[in-house]
Amino acid sequence: MIGERVVQRVSSTRGFAKVAPHVIPALDRAVHRLTRGKVLLSAQMLPGVILTSTGARSGQRRRTPLACMPEEGGRSWLLIGSNFGRTDHPAWTHNLLAHPDAEVSWKGADIPVRAHLLEGEERTAAWKRLLAFWPPYATYQARVDREIRVFRITRRDQ
């Protein structure tokens, strides 16, 4: 518990917000590739997926390691566009808005998903659960003027 609180406190700092976006995704992608999709380093703190989306402008496939909150039943996850409390929305959120069909790598399995941007009461309810799950999201939101985007990604039946 003490270790988790320390990690949460460190991850809420501005210094972390400056360094983490450059270091953590690169390490996650490398370890994920080396372990054939079975391990994400950042998942030692929070559950994580590798999101493969289609670039909003380029149309190219983009792979992004992301923290997530699994939902009951294993058919959906919440993705949080916190961008570590930085001012802009992360690129992957623009990609999902333009192309909601995507894929996640979850515990070594590649799963086709569809993204849905949560708004209104649906977002409010999810946000409360997210804050209980990872309190630093409140610090990230307080640091920016934009509303942090929250997506529910759901398995697509094949």
pTM of the model: 0.77
User: How many other CB atoms are there within 10 angstroms of residue 91's CB atom?
Assistant: 16
Give the pLDDT confidence score for residue 136 in this predicted structure.
87
Confidence of residue 55 (pLDDT cuts 50, 70, 90): very high
Q: pLDDT tens, 97-152?
A: 999 999 999 888 999 999 999 999 999 999 999 999 888 899 889 999 999 999 99
Give the gyration radius of the chain's Cα atoms.
Answer: 15
89 burial (CB, 10 Å; 0-12 / 13-18 / 19+) is middle
Confidence of residue 1 (pLDDT cuts 50, 70, 90): very low
Please give the domain boundaries of the chain with CATH numbers for all domains.
2-155 (2.30.110.10)
How does DSSP classify residue 37? T
**Cα 145 off chain centre by:** 19
Q: pLDDT tens, 20-52?
A: 666 666 666 666 566 666 655 555 567 889 899
- Residue located via tokens 């997926």: 49
Q: Could you tell me the two tokens for 50?
A: 């590798």
CA–CA distance from 91 to each of 82, 101, 107, 116 (Å)? 11, 15, 24, 16
**Cα 21 off chain centre by:** 12
Dist CA 85 CA 135 (whole Å): 13
Helix/strand/coil for 107 = coil
Q: pLDDT tens, 68-106?
A: 999 987 899 999 999 988 899 999 999 999 999 999 998
Dist CA 80 CA 25 (whole Å): 15
Pairing of strands 48-54, 101-106: antiparallel
